[in-house]
Amino acid sequence: MDEKMKLAPITPGERYPSLDILRGFAILGILLMNIQNFSMIEAAYINPTAYGDLAGINKWSWIVSHVLADQKFLSLFSILFGAGIVLFTNRIEKRGLKPAGMHYRRIFWLLVIGLIHAYVFWHGDILVPYAICGAIAFLFRKKKPKTLLTVGLIIFSISSLIYIMFGVSIHQWPQEAIQGTMASWNPGTEKIAAELTAYRGGWLEQMTHRIPASLIFQTFIFLIWTGWRVGGLMLIGMALYKWDILTAKRTRSYYVTFMSIGFGIGLPLVIYGVIKNFSTGWTMQYSMFLGSQFNYWGSLFIAMGYIGLIMFISKHITEKKGCTSLQAVGRLAFSNYLFQTLICTFIFYGHGLGLFGKVQRITQLAIVLGIWTLQLIVSSLWLRYFRYGPVEWIWRSLTYWRFPPVLKK
């Protein structure tokens, strides 16, 4: 049988509902943090004192978003991506075919889409790091779960060690290096004004900030932070999938324990980090490096807590027939991720409403709720008539070199 006839995109009946529900939960949750990057200057994402009101309800809006969302949903997506590599390649191998060519074609087109997303629309793109890390993670897919977990945690910890090294040694840095780092942590009025002007302007004006920001994120930040975190979590995701944790096959009591340990360790760790950073005045010398490690590690445990919670819920949901709204969002996760960019850049950038730098944190959360509602409704309606989301269909067509049927019969 011809290879193209053997292979075809996964059908709804072959999907794990628990993975789609978790993916839907993650795609909605990640907007809680991305909205800050869409609506405010870049520095405000890592340093809440760099821009905007941080008092009263706005302060609590930031705290809730940070504790519950910052790096937690990125972690879930990385874990799911790793699990997806195993699921995808196993499916190919069961048909007696070698998965490398198909996997790297899939990764290549993800990279292309990510580069377009980063340089044309939004510098906060995560697809490029996923493509790079996914290309390497593929090589580990056949390892045993314990090996994957161990190696994944070691890789994950490398970024933490880098940041701790920076934090310990910062007092010995040259003054020029300290000033340069301070400019990214707490930019001056001139730099803030330039960023505001860029994003309140037209598409070409936005490029003056978008292109260099994307380059830094895909090179320097990838080498000291993103690559280690995302790559390590992909391997951990492979382990969790092989242990049947992500497919809701474990018992309800198992997931209650999993959730309790995750939240029980993660929440106190992240909350303590918030208290400590506020008490030290959010100084670059402490908060950017040593102070960030409470959330770096705490977010991993909270992500595990979310997995336990969603798998527990999934065991109940999947006993019923039909596709839930959250599951629908997950099945259209790629489209919904890019759709969030289109909506938010229209709201905040100059080619749309031009509200960049003008929206307070509490109002950002209201916008998030509106987008959530829209995506829950549209995703459910879309899947009544179509098999795949628009971007999912394009990605599958490029991966399989054939056009899968998109309309439901």
Q: How many domains does the chain have?
A: 1
Q: Would residue 374 count as lying in a domain?
A: yes
SS3 100: helix
Instruction: Give the residue from 271, 265, 272, 273 showing the smallest Cα distance to 291.
Output: 273
What is the mean pLDDT of the segment spanning 311-333?
A: 83
Q: Would residue 260 count as lying in a domain?
A: yes
Query: Token pair 């090589």 is at which residue?
Result: 139
Q: Which of 185-194, 312-321, 386-395 has the lowest mean pLDDT?
A: 312-321
Alpha-carbon distances of 321 from 17, 197, 216, rounded to whole Å: 11, 51, 46
Q: Would residue 204 count as lying in a domain?
A: yes
Contact 291, 281 (CB under 8 A): no
Contact 47, 184 (CB under 8 A): no
Q: Would residue 405 count as lying in a domain?
A: no
Instruction: Give the residue from 35, 38, 26 showing the smallest Cα distance to 61.
Output: 35
What is the mean pLDDT of the segment spanning 38-45?
A: 97
Structure letter (DSSP) for residue 16: -
Q: Would residue 135 count as lying in a domain?
A: yes
Predicted confidence (pLDDT) per residue in 345-377, tens digit: 999 999 999 999 999 999 999 999 999 999 999
Q: Would residue 406 count as lying in a domain?
A: no
Distance (Å, rounded) from C-alpha 195 to C-alpha 32?
22
Instruction: Give the residue from 256, 257, 292, 252 showing the smallest Cα distance to 272.
Output: 292
Q: Would residue 79 count as lying in a domain?
A: yes
pLDDT of residue 12: 58
Predicted confidence (pLDDT) per residue in 252-265, tens digit: 999 999 999 999 99
pLDDT of residue 316: 80
Q: Would residue 162 count as lying in a domain?
A: yes
Distance (Å, rounded) from C-alpha 144 to C-alpha 239?
7
Q: How many CB atoms lie within 10 A of CB 140?
A: 20
Confidence of residue 1 (pLDDT cuts 50, 70, 90): very low
Residue 304: is its pLDDT beyond 60?
A: yes
Alpha-carbon distances of 22 from 140, 237, 258, 300, 304, rounded to whole Å: 23, 13, 15, 15, 11
Residue 123: is its pLDDT beyond 90?
A: yes
pLDDT of residue 2: 45
Contact 185, 284 (CB under 8 A): yes
Query: Token pair 């037209």 is at which residue?
Result: 202
Contact 89, 103 (CB under 8 A): yes
Amino acid at 4: K
pLDDT of residue 7: 61
Predicted confidence (pLDDT) per residue in 153-180, tens digit: 999 999 999 999 999 999 999 999 999 9
What is the mean pLDDT of the segment spanning 400-404?
A: 91
How many CA atoms within 13 Å lie on the side-chain side of 354? 9
pLDDT of residue 13: 58
Range of the domain at 243: 3-400
Percent of the chain residues past pLDDT 70, beyond the cut? 95
Q: How many CB atoms lie within 10 A of CB 377?
A: 13
Mean pLDDT of the chain: 94
pLDDT of residue 4: 47
